[in-house]
Amino acid sequence: MKRIALGVQYDGTAFNGYQKQPDRNTVQDRLEIALEKFARIELATTCAGRTDTGVHALEQVVHFDTELSRSMQSWVRGVNAFLPDSIAVRWATDVPEHPGQEFHARFAAFARTYHYVLYNNPIRSPLLVGRAGWVFRPLDVDLMRAAAQCLVGTHDFSAFRSSQCQAKSPVKQMHAVNIERHGEVIVFTLRASAFLHHMVRNLIGSLIYVGQGRHTPAWLRDVLEGRDRNDAAPTFMPDGLYLAKIDYDPKWGLPHEAARPLPWF
């Protein structure tokens, strides 16, 4: 039995999130249907992290077990032949066992990185619908950067946690929060040990409040320390959210790709 890992990229606009659902309109459903058509046997997959409706992935990592003998390039090309244009397997690799350890797409990961792409212009762009969030009021990037400093470190992120979150603990380690402006596009990059349900979108909404001048940077620290979801901004739109990278120990030898959510910055 072999354990195969795949790097999967997708545009989540048309899907009801990643995880399988009865209507089968999810990324996992489409991926497993394609795997079955290629392998001619049902293959169950496990992902590194589930994404919500409308959320994209530059590199989702999944694994499955199989006795089939195929080249890694065959897995890539063969499965892609049965996938819609909005999903693609970018790479495949056979992950060998280490003494006392077996690779697991979710549990072997030690960090996740998300990008949020935000279009900041008085007029919406039809070309960015589904691919970037939109705020028509001017945003002060320096104020948002100042506010974001309080997020770095190990904290209880209950104030930014969905009521539907199933995580055992709200305590997560935020490694970095970077905010860059590229003309009319602002890119937020958040890297943490793990994220709570809706955590990134709730943080983005609150940072936008600061960027608009509705609150001072110190307000975000107060919200974080207060641990009350009602004190933070509403959950922001999913359109500009991209799962960018999953970090693993180099010993697993996964062929990560460097990718940007939009090609022109």
Query: Residue 156: what pLDDT?
Result: 97
The tokens describing 237, both together, are 């739109």
Positive/negative CA dihedral, 23, 194, 6, 81: positive
Q: How far is CA 13 from CA 87, 179, 192, in A?
A: 11, 24, 24
DSSP the chain: -EEEEEEEEE--TTSS-SS--TT--SHHHHHHHHHHHHHSS----EESS---TT-EEEEEEEEEEE-----HHHHHHHHHTTS-TTEEEEEEEE---BTTB---TTTT--EEEEEEEEEESSS--GGGTTTSEEE-S---HHHHHHHHGGGSEEEE-GGG--TT---S-SEEEEEEEEEEEETTEEEEEEEES---TTHHHHHHHHHHHHHTTSS-HHHHHHHHHHT-GGGSPPPPPSTTEEEEEEE--GGG--------SSTT-
β partners of residue 117? 187
Question: Count of CB atoms within 10 A of residue 261's CB?
Answer: 22
Radius of gyration for the chain, computed over Cα atoms and rounded to the nearest angstrom = 19
Asked if residue 70 lies in contact with residue 76, where contact means CB atoms within 8 angstroms, the answer is no
Q: Which one, of 196, 27, 181, 47, lies nearest residue 114 by Cα?
A: 196
Orientation angle between helical segments 217-226 and 199-211, nearest 10 degrees: 150
How far is residue 246's CA from residue 231's CA, in Å, rounded to a whole number? 30
Give per-residue burial for 30-42: e unless 16+ CB within 10 Å, then b: bbbebbeebbeee
Catalytic residues: 52
114 known member of a binding site: yes
pLDDT string in tens for the chain (265-residue length): 899 999 999 999 999 999 988 888 999 999 999 999 999 999 999 999 999 999 999 999 999 999 998 999 999 999 999 999 999 999 999 998 888 889 999 999 999 999 999 999 999 999 999 999 999 999 999 999 999 999 999 999 999 999 888 889 999 999 999 999 999 999 999 999 999 999 999 999 999 999 999 999 999 999 999 999 999 999 999 999 999 999 999 999 999 776 777 766 6
Residue 264 is predicted with a pLDDT of 62
**What pLDDT sits at residue 260?**
74
